[in-house]
C-alpha cells in the first residue's frame, strides 16, 4: 500500500505555547485580582515570538533560552513596581541590619496568592492533556488587548506635546503629559512667590517656647491600619490639620521642608540648594529672640540626616542618643533612646537657660520600620507598629504633662515626616516609600498651646483645607503677634485663612500630584505621567 500521508514543511508546523501557557495564565489571574498592570502590545509580541515556527531543534532550544530572561523582564514591567534601578537606589539600603533585610524579604510572600497559583498549576497540569491551552492563552491575550486599546491610544497621544512651556491650564483640561507638566511648572512658580511675613520684635510680647516634634513614620493611614486614629495624644491637641501634606516620603527631605517652612513648597532638587534666610523658620524665630536647639533620639548618621539639619543653620544636638539607655535598636542596628528620656533631659537643661524664648527641633525615629524593642536582659525583640505607637503616644503625653506642670508658656507642634507605609500598595512593599503616594504623605499635624489660658475643649479645632508647611509657619507667626501683654491667645481667629497648598510630593525617584481629584505619578527617567492605581477596598 502506498503511503499518501502529506508531510508538512517545517516552517508550516506552528507550535503551541507549551509551558508558557502557565506564564500567561498566571498573568491573567494577577490582572483579575488587580495586582498587574497588563500591557497588551509587549505580551502579544512575546507570544508571537514563541509561536513562530523555527527549523531545527537547536534554534528552538535557543529561543527558549532567550525567552526566559525576556519573560522575567516583561513580567516585572507588567507589575506596578518602579524600575528595578529605583529599588536599588533606596537610601542607605546597604546599611540595613540582617534582621531587617530578612523581614523585608518575608514581605514578598503572599500566601493567598501562592495558594491561588498552586491551584492554577494543578489545573494546568490536568487540563493540558484535554484542551489546547495555547488557544485559550491567545484568546485571553486578544481579549485583554482589545480591552486595552482605548487606554493604549490615550497614553500614546500626549507624549507628542510633552515638554511645552507652562501655560494656564484650561479648566477641565485632559490629564495628558502637556497639561500635567504645565500645571506642575505653574505650581512651583507660584510657590516661589510665597513667604511668611513675621512680625517685628515686640517688647510687650508674652514669652513662650516653641517645640517642633518631628516624628518619622506616622500618617493617618498608618493610624487607621492599627486602630489608633482616635488616640489620646491627638485628642488633647488644640488644633489638628486634617489635610496636611508632608510633600515627601523620606526623612532628610522632610526635615528640610519643616526647617524651610516659611517659604512656599520647593522642588525636591531645590531642597539641596541654598535657601534665602527668610525661608528658614528657626532663623525667623531667632530674629525674634528665640534660641534655636536641635535634639534627636538617634545618632543622625543614617543617610547623613544630621548634615541635612545643620545645612539649614541649625546647631548640633545638645544631647546625644548615647547619653540615655537604649529603648530600641534601629533598622540599621544603631541605638535609639526613649523619647521621654531625651525630651525630659533637654527640658531639664532648658529650665536653666535664662532666655525667655527657646525653639526646639526634635526628631524621633521610634516608629521607623524595622526597629526592635530592647528587652530587660539587653536583647531585642520584634515589636509591631501599634505597640511602638502606643508607647510613643504615652511618652509624649507624659511630657506634655511635665510642660503643663512647669507653668511656662509652650507651643508644641507635632509634625510627622511621612507615613510608615504599613499597608503597602500595588507599586511598593509594605515599608517602602520610594513613591510618595497620598497614603504616605497625608500626615496628622497637631498643635498644643500650654500655659496660654486656653479653654478646655471636648475636641481639637480642625483645619480642613489642603495645607502644608507654609500654613504651619504662618500659624507660628500669628501666635507671636497675638500674644501681647495680658492678651489671651485667640486660637480660632489664628486659623482663619491659613495658606493652602496643592498636593504635590516628590522624592529623588518620583513625583506625585493631584489633578481634578486624581493622583498621578511620574518616575525618574520616564517622560509620561500615569494615574496612581486606586487600591481596592
Cα dihedral 62, 64, 68, 73 sign: positive
Flag whether 225 is in a domain.
yes
Residues 232 and 103 in one domain: no
What digits encode the pLDDT tens for the residues 109-122?
666 777 777 888 78
In this predicted model, what pLDDT tens digit does every residue of 432-484 receive, in sequence order? 888 999 999 999 999 999 998 888 888 999 999 999 999 999 999 999 998 86
Sheet holding 239-245, edge to edge: 290-296, 357-364, 209-215, 410-416, 442-450, 239-245, 461-467
Q: Which residue has the higher pLDDT, 127 or 278?
A: 278
Asked if the structure places residue 190 within a domain, the reply is no
Q: Which residues contact 376 (CB under 8 A, 6 or more apart)?
A: none
Q: Does pLDDT of 493 surpass 50?
A: yes
Q: What is the mean pLDDT of the chain?
A: 86
pLDDT of 423 > 90? The answer is no
Q: Is pLDDT of 255 > 90?
A: yes
Q: Please say if the pLDDT value at position 319 is more than 60.
A: yes
**The pLDDT value given to residue 165:** 33
Q: Is the pLDDT of residue 370 over 90?
A: no
Does the structure show a pLDDT above 60 at 163?
no
* 200 and 137 part of one domain: no
* Section 488-509 average pLDDT: 94
Whole-number pLDDT of residue 162: 33
pLDDT at 256 over 50: yes
Q: What is the mean pLDDT of the segment spanning 393-403?
A: 98
Per DSSP, the residues of 132-198 read -HHHHHHHHHHHHHHHHHHHHHHHHGGGGTTTPPP-PPPTT----HHHHHHHHHHHHHHHTT-B--P
User: Do residues 450 and 239 make contact, with C-beta atoms less than 8 angstroms apart?
Assistant: no
- Confidence band, pLDDT 50/70/90 cuts, at residue 498: very high
Same structural domain, 245 and 107: no
**315, 319, 321, 324: CA torsion to nearest 10:** -170
Say if 181 falls within a structural domain: no
- Its domain, for residue 50, covers 10-151
Cα diameter, the chain: 120
**Cβ atoms of residues 418 and 248 within 8 Å:** yes
Q: Which residues contact 114 (CB under 8 A, 6 or more apart)?
A: none
Beta-bridged to residue 358, according to DSSP, are 291
Mean of pLDDT values over 269-290? 96
Residue 449 inside a domain? The answer is: yes
Q: Is the dihedral of CA 332, 334, 338, 343 positive or negative?
A: negative
In a domain, 520, yes or no: no
If asked whether residues 144 and 263 sit together in one domain, one would say no
Question: Which band of pLDDT confidence, cut at 50, 70 and 90, is reported for residue 526?
Answer: confident
C-alpha closest to that of 83 among 515, 416, 535, 508: 508
The answer to whether the Cα torsion of 529, 263, 433, 90 is positive or negative is positive
pLDDT at position 127: 79
pTM: 0.80
Residues 472 and 401 in one domain: yes
Q: Examine the pLDDT at 426 and tell me if it is beyond 80.
A: no
Residue 183 lies in a domain: no
Q: Are residues 325 and 387 in the same domain?
A: yes
Instruction: List for the chain the helix, strand, coil content (%; round to 5).
Output: 40, 15, 40
Taking alpha carbons only, the member of 249, 289, 211 closest to residue 425 is 249
Residues 92-106: tens digit of each pLDDT:
555 565 666 566 565
Residues 305 and 445 in one domain: yes
Of 67, 64, 93, 71, the residue nearest 27 (C-alpha): 71
| Residue 19: predicted pLDDT | 84
CATH label of the domain that carries residue 340:
3.40.720.10
Q: Is the pLDDT of residue 161 over 50?
A: no
Q: Give the lowest-confidence range in 148-162, 166-180, 253-267, 514-528.
A: 148-162
Give the residue-averaged pLDDT of 484-497: 84
293 vs 75, higher pLDDT: 293
Considering the domain architecture, whether residues 130 and 224 belong to the same structural domain is answered as no
Rg (CA), the chain: 28
Total structural domains in the chain? 2
Name the domain boundary from 98, 133, 151: 151
Question: CB neighbours of 525 closer than 8 A, spacing ≥ 6?
Answer: 83
Does residue 249 carry a pLDDT above 60? yes
Where is average pLDDT lowest: 14-18, 70-74, 156-160, 168-172? Answer: 156-160
Query: Do 137 and 218 have their domain in common?
Result: no
Instruction: Check whether residue 373 and residue 480 sit in a common domain.
Output: yes
Same domain, 129 and 201: no
- Domain identity same for 138 and 218: no
Q: Measured between alpha carbons, how far is 501 from 471 in angstroms, rounded to an integer?
A: 8
DSSP letter for each residue of 206-271: PP-EEEEEEESS--HHHHHHTT-SS-HHHHT-SEEEEEEE-S-SSHHHHHHHHHTTTBPPPPTGGG
How do residues 175-219 score in pLDDT, each as one tens digit? 889 999 999 999 999 999 999 999 999 887 889 999 999 999 999
**Does residue 417 form part of some domain?**
yes
In a domain, 323, yes or no: yes
Amino acid at each position: 500500500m502506498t503511503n499518501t500521508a502529506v508531510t508538512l514543511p517545517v516552517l508550516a508546523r506552528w507550535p503551541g505555547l507549551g509551558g508558557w501557557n502557565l506564564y500567561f495564565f498566571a498573568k491573567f489571574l494577577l490582572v483579575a485580582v488587580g495586582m498587574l498592570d497588563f500591557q497588551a502590545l509587549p505580551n502579544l509580541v512575546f507570544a508571537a515570538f514563541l509561536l513562530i515556527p523555527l527549523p531545527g531543534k537547536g534554534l528552538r532550544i535557543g529561543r527558549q533560552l532567550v525567552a526566559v530572561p525576556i519573560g522575567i523582564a516583561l513580567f516585572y514591567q507588567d507589575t506596578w513596581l518602579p524600575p528595578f534601578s529605583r529599588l536599588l537606589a533606596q537610601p542607605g539600603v546597604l546599611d540595613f541590619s540582617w534582621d531587617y533585610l530578612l523581614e523585608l524579604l518575608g514581605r514578598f510572600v503572599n500566601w493567598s496568592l501562592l495558594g491561588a497559583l498552586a491551584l492554577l498549576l494543578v489545573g494546568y497540569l490536568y487540563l493540558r492533556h484535554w484542551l489546547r491551552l495555547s488557544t485559550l492563552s491567545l484568546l485571553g491575550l486578544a481579549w485583554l488587548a482589545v480591552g486595552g486599546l482605548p487606554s493604549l491610544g490615550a497614553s500614546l497621544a500626549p507624549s507628542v506635546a510633552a515638554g511645552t512651556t507652562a501655560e494656564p491650564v484650561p479648566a477641565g483640561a485632559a490629564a495628558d503629559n502637556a497639561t500635567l507638566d504645565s500645571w506642575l511648572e505653574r505650581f512651583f512658580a507660584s510657590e516661589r512667590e510665597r513667604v511668611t511675613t513675621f512680625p517685628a520684635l515686640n517688647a510687650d510680647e508674652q514669652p513662650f517656647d516653641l517645640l517642633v516634634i518631628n516624628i518619622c513614620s506616622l500618617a493617618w493611614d498608618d493610624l487607621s491600619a492599627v486602630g489608633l486614629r482616635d488616640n489620646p495624644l491627638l485628642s488633647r491637641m488644640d488644633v489638628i490639620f486634617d489635610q496636611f501634606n508632608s510633600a515627601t516620603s523620606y526623612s532628610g527631605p522632610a526635615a528640610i521642608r519643616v526647617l524651610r517652612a516659611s517659604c512656599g513648597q520647593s522642588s525636591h532638587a531645590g531642597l539641596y540648594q541654598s535657601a534665602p534666610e527668610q525661608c528658614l523658620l528657626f532663623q525667623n524665630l531667632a530674629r525674634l529672640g528665640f534660641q534655636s536647639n536641635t535634639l534627636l533620639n538617634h545618632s543622625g548618621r543614617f543617610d547623613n540626616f544630621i548634615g541635612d539639619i545643620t545645612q539649614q543653620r541649625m546647631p548640633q544636638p545638645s544631647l546625644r542618643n548615647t547619653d540615655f539607655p537604649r529603648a530600641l535598636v534601629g533598622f540599621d542596628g544603631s541605638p535609639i533612646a526613649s523619647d521621654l528620656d531625651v525630651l525630659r533631659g533637654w527640658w531639664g537643661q532648658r529650665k536653666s537657660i535664662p532666655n525667655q524664648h527657646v525653639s526646639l527641633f526634635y526628631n524621633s525615629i521610634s516608629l521607623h520600620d524595622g526597629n526592635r524593642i530592647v528587652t530587660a536582659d539587653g536583647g531585642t525583640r520584634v515589636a509591631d507598629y501599634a505597640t511602638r505607637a502606643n508607647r510613643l503616644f504615652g511618652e509624649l503625653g507624659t511630657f506634655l504633662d511635665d510642660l503643663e506642670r512647669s507653668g511656662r508658656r509652650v507651643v508644641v507642634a507635632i509634625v510627622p515626616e511621612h507615613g510608615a507605609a504599613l499597608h503597602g500598595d500595588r507599586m511598593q512593599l509594605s515599608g517602602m516609600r520610594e513613591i510618595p503616594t497620598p497614603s504616605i504623605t497625608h500626615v496628622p499635624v497637631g498643635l498644643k498651646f500650654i500655659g496660654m489660658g486656653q479653654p478646655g475643649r471636648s475636641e481639637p479645632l480642625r483645619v480642613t483645607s489642603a495645607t502644608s508647611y507654609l500654613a504651619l509657619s504662618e500659624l507660628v507667626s500669628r501666635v507671636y503677634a497675638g500674644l501681647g501683654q495680658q492678651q489671651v491667645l485667640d486660637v480660632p481667629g489664628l486659623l482663619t485663612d491659613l495658606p493652602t497648598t496643592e498636593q504635590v510630593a516628590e522624592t529623588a525617584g518620583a513625583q506625585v500630584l493631584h489633578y481634578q481629584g486624581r493622583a498621578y505619578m511620574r518616575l525618574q527617567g520616564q517622560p509620561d505621567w500615569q494615574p496612581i492605581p486606586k487600591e481596592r477596598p
